[in-house]
Structure formats: C-alpha cells, structure tokens
Chain A
C-alpha cells in the first residue's frame, strides 16, 4: 500500500457545526501528519440576493425586518471568514500543524468539489446551516455526495473527532474499480488511529464470504493491523447502519458505488448513519 494523505481540505462556514468539523479535521490532520487547508465559501446566492434592493431580511427573533445591502453583507461575510480563520489558526497552533486558509465565492458544492483536485482528502460537515432540521443531510452535502470526486469525508458535527473513538474503523469492501482505494484509505485511517479494522464483506453465502476473507487476509497480512471480518448478506443503507451499530464502528469507509448500498444511494447512507462516512469516488471521477 503506497497511498498517503499529505493534504486535507476542510470546508468551513460560520455555523457551530462547522466548528466541530474543524476540530475533527485538525485532529485527523495531526494524526496523519498532513497539511490542513481551510476553505470558506461565500454563498453566491446570498450575494446575488443582496443586490436586489427590495429584499429584506427578517431577524431570527422575528423582531426586525431590515434591508439587505451588499456592503454590510460583504462585511459580515468577511467577519465570519476572519473569525473561522482565527479559530483555525488557534486549533492548528495547538497541534503544530502546517495550515492555510482561503476564501472562495460561489456555490458551496461547486467550490468543495473543485477543492478535491488539490487535496488527498476533503472534509465537510454532513449538515449545513439550514432553516429547518428535518433532514440530517444538508443540501450542499447532498449535492457533493451524489457527485463525488476523490475522497470526501462527511463529518458528524456531534463528534469532534474522526479517529480515536472506541470502535473500529469500518470498511465496506467491494471489488469494484474503487475497491483498492477504499481499502488503502481504511488501512491508513486504522493505522493512524492505532485501532482495529473491521471489514464488511458483501457475500450472500458463508462460502463466498470465507473466500473473500481468505483473499483479504492474505492481502492484509503485511499491514500489521488487527483486522476483523463480518459478512453482510443484506444490502442497503439500513443494513449497513445496523451492521455498523452492532459492531460499534465509528467511521465507515465506502466506495461511492459500493455493492453494499444495494438500491440506496450514498446520500441515503450518509443521512442514515450517525457516524462519519468517508466516500471514495470511482477511478476516473477524480
């Protein structure tokens, strides 16, 4: 296995969730000894709206309706960017990380997908600042999840770290075009977390499962990792969620086109799971 993670991009905004994602990213970068780049996206939709002079904004208390002017909006966005940059500086300083920070303007999903090209791993929150909470998965995360490129980690804002939890790093094994990348990434994370690696094997029969397990065991023999295998006969987001909960897995590494998804999409899985999910895109997509 020759894959390494040298540069991590973390997508940030001004939300409390985003600060948790930042902490998780800093902690992961420190464990991987990787450079961390912060990406703050100024929402183009918001800027366009501010240019319409009849648009008003309603305060969250509902007590005030006031005009939205571009200048004050831009000032607010700059303030938010500066605040999150300062927070990143403090967090990176605590871990002595190499770090950078940049501000981009446009649609958040577009900017995040563009950042994949410049990083070995992109981290973003599952949720984005939303008006309501009905959906676990934010709109931006949903777009990014359905059009993945490279490796994107959807962090769970409740958890302030990605690695180091009590459970194993879990990998949804698949023999597709990204099977090798998925396994490499999972091994990297398991090694960094100094924990166990749990491999979920898609196999309808025990014999099939045993055959895959043998092959994987040979492959994993040189990795000096504690590895466990669990056969998954069921497919779909619900089955994977159940398997992960049963094994107390704390991070799932999965290919965007994993056969274990069954008829569900990767977005469905991310939405269903309460743990972070690292999605690895198929070859050629990145």
Chain B
C-alpha cells in the first residue's frame, strides 16, 4: 500500500489549501455552503473509519498470509462465521444511522421556501444557452451574467430555463439546483454575508459552451445595493454619434436592452462595463494587469466578443445575427465600455 503514500500526502496538501474562496466548495463563504461542508465532513469522517479498517485488514492479510516458496499446505476451509457476519452487518448500519440523521435534518432545512418571505430578496434565475438572466421581480430589474445581492438578506432563488437543462451552482455559497423548462420552477436559497465576488457555474451539460457558461455573484453592502438599484433604473443614454446610435439600435437593441431601450430576449446590457466579465467568461481587468488568456480590459473584451462571439463561446446564439464593420464593432465596444454604474 506504499503506492498510496504520495496520494495521501497530496490529499493533506490539497485539504489544507481548500481552494479559492470564490470557487471552492471546501472554502464556504455562506451558511448554506457551510452546512453542506459540515455534512461532507461528517461523512468523510465516518467513511475514513471504514477505509482505515479495510486497508488495515488488507495490508495485514496480504503480508501475513502470502504463499511462501515451497509452501504447499492446504489452508483450513472455513465456511464463515456468524459472529463476524453480524458484526460487519450491524456496525455499518449504526454508522449509517449516524450519517442519516443529520442528512435528513439538512434535506428539510435546506428545502425551506423563502419565495413568500418579505424579508428575503426574490430573484428569478432563467438559464439560457449560454448565459444567465437574473430578474428581481420586486425591484423591476432585469440583468444578466452578474447577480448583485446585498450581504444582509436571504436570497430566494426561483430557477427555470428557456431552452435546455442547466444547473445553477455557486460552489462557495451553495450547492446547485437544476433549471427545468416549462413552468417547472425550482426553489433554493442562499446567503452571502461576506462582500465579494463569487464564481457561478453551469453544472448540467447544455451544449458546446457548457463549460464556458460562467456567471458571477457580487455580494455588496446593503447601502451599495440600494445605490445599485437606483443606478440600474436610471435613464440610459444611447451612443452620442447618431450614426452609431442608429446601428446600435438596429443591430443590437433588437435583442438586447440598455436601460429603457431595446428588447429583452438576450442579455440586458445596462451597466455592462461595471460587471466583472464580458459574456460571463472574459474577465475584465485594468490595463496592464492582464495575466491570463481570458483576461483583458473591458473594451478589448467587448471588442473581442462582438467581433467574433463564436470564437469565445462556440454554438452561442449571437453568432451571425448581425453585420457590423470593424469600425462599428469598435464604436459599439467603446460605447458599451462607458456603461458603468457607480454603486460600490
């Protein structure tokens, strides 16, 4: 069993690291993920007992009872042992009861329905190939790719999909819930008491860009959240260049919305330049801070995306839906990169 030694060392290493605060289920940043991690710990603990016992017996048996050279004896043929059978039936049952009790408790506590709770923030999550729509029905706000929430409230999620199955997952805040079509709405809740940006993932195969269907959860102080609401409902400005404004209206606003303008079938662009990312996957950083392939300035990301969405997210529904010259792409990217919201 020496072969497990490096793996075990690795295990210790990884467990001590526990991964990124904004991504790892082992590094929970909210009570729901914490509760889930606690359950994992109980189950890992109980299961470790099983593993240790089995490994110990295995190692002992393999060393003690190996056939030595020239050894030709016939071992005693044992039929079995009632006592042992009872032991290894009962002990696992006891272990499982110990595990089942907190499991059942948590199944029911996590299924608590906050959708009628006036103190909770209601959010309707609608998944699309390959983007996330977040609607705040009480606030009259619709946004995309970035779920802004206050740190002081329970966030009550009602999740559904417009097309295929997806799954809504924020590993460091809460486990996932599938998004089903056709009025089959799933409910869940989470809290994000620490301000910060958390990574969200799609966890159900939904097409070629499934792995790229990221979103962000931005938890902000209650006062910032107030200001975000106001900024989101503020009047928006179209591009100042009338030519560009016309192009923008005819090519973009048929599907997208900016403030009170435009359609709502595809991601709402209000305040897009204040988001952490473009298209959920191109991370916005300051000039000169680009470290990875998927990072760039807001403008560059917007340009890259509008220029050739297919290269960023294969199979997305934006590719080929519009015709823009390079200048127009640059103009629109320029315009969009000015759509910031001041709320933090």
A and B: interacting chains: no
Q: Please report A residues at the B interface, Cβ cutoff 8 Å.
A: none
Q: Please report B residues at the A interface, Cβ cutoff 8 Å.
A: none
